[in-house]
């Protein structure tokens, strides 16, 4: 006999994400989920970002990594509270699931924090599928990864609210067609802002910082 089920396979994660979202609202904290393939420069961008948000915005960071605490050590130098999640302890996952982010967030003192940034595990596929209760999502793509990545990973570029095109300082050494990549992003998500930045030189940071501040202010005033 056929038994109707009609259930989302990820419904448990969706429920946990919903709980996180409520918790973050109660705490009046804006949550940003930052995603990219490994090594695009998420940690480098965050190192240069959190200090520039001060004194208006206090941040905290949750960083997911498969194995090391390198990123947390780097980010701790910025002076903001950082919690590292080693997904290896949870089976070497390729993404952060909502309950893991929820647990980490409850270990942070979020009083007085307006912005919680979650650096997801380096991966352009899986994190796009898992809601963690965030308010906005950004994807980082570096210029060494090739112009076609938005077309190869459409879900990621579809679900994100902004894209950062990083390592622009390397453009003179590459045959990278920046117009082609922006065009590819537009095909997937036509009105998504694209910030061309270099975490190394901090070129292009003002527009990105301004966008982020506006997002935070929209939620927490």
Partner 1 sequence: MHEMGIALEIIKIAVDSIPANLKNPKVERINLKVGKLAAVVPDSLKFCFEVASKDTALEGSLLHIEEIPVTARCINCGNSWTAIKPVFICEKCDSGQVDLLSGRELDIVSIEVEEGA
- Binding-site ranges for partner 1 (CB under 8 A): 1-10, 12, 91, 93-95, 123, 125-126, 128-129, 151, 154-155, 158, 186-191
Q: Is 76 in the site for ligand GTP (CB under 6 A)?
A: no
Which residues sit opposite 31 in a β-bridge? Answer: 116
* Dihedral sign computed on CA atoms, order 49, 50, 51, 52: positive
Site for ligand GTP (CB under 6 A): which residue of 23, 155, 161, 169? Answer: 169
Binding characters for ligand GTP, 105-144, by CB under 6 A (x = yes): -----------------x----------------------
How many chain residues touch ligand GTP (CB under 6 A)? 17
Site for Mg ion in 29-88 (CB under 5 A): 42-43, 71
Site for ligand GTP (CB under 6 A): which residue of 21, 27, 95, 167? Answer: 167
In the sheet with 82-86, reading across from the earlier edge strand, the strands are 82-86, 59-65, 115-119, 30-36, 136-142, 162-166, 194-196
Q: Which residue has the tokens 């929209």?
A: 218
Q: Is 204 in the site for ligand GTP (CB under 6 A)?
A: no
Within its chain, how far is the Cα of 146 from the centroid?
20
Peptide bond into 136 cis (omega under 30): no
**Minimal distance in Å, beta carbon 3 to partner 1?**
5
All residues at 6 or more sequence positions from 81 whose CB lies less than 8 Å from its CB, including other chains: 60, 61, 108, 109, 113
The span from the CA of 16 to the CA of 192, in Å, is 27
**Minimal distance in Å, beta carbon 56 to Mg ion?**
25
| Residue number of the CB atom closest to ligand GTP | 122
Query: Which parts of this chain interact with Mg ion (CB under 5 A)?
Result: 42-43, 71
């Amino acid at each position: 006999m056929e038994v109707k089920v009609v259930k989302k396979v990820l419904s448990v994660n969706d429920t946990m994400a919903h709980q996180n979202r409520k918790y973050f609202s109660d705490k009046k904290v804006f949550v940003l989920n930052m995603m990219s393939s490994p090594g695009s420069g998420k940690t480098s961008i965050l190192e240069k970002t959190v200090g520039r948000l001060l004194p208006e915005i206090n941040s905290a960071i949750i960083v997911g990594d498969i194995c090391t605490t390198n990123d947390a050590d780097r980010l701790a130098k910025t002076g903001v509270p950082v919690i590292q999640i080693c997904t290896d302890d949870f089976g070497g996952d390729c993404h952060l699931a909502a309950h893991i982010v929820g647990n980490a967030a409850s270990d942070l003192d979020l009083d007085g924090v307006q912005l919680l940034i979650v650096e997801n595990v380096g991966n352009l596929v899986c994190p796009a599928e898992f809601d963690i209760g965030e308010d906005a999502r950004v994807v980082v793509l570096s210029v060494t990864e090739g112009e076609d990545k938005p077309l190869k990973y459409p879900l990621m570029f579809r679900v994100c609210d902004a894209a950062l095109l990083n390592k622009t300082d390397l453009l003179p050494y590459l045959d990278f067609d920046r117009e082609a990549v922006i065009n590819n992003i537009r095909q997937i998500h036509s009105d998504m802002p694209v910030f061309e930045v270099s975490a190394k030189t901090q070129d292009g940071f003002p527009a990105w910082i301004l966008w982020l501040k506006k997002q935070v202010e929209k939620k927490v005033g």
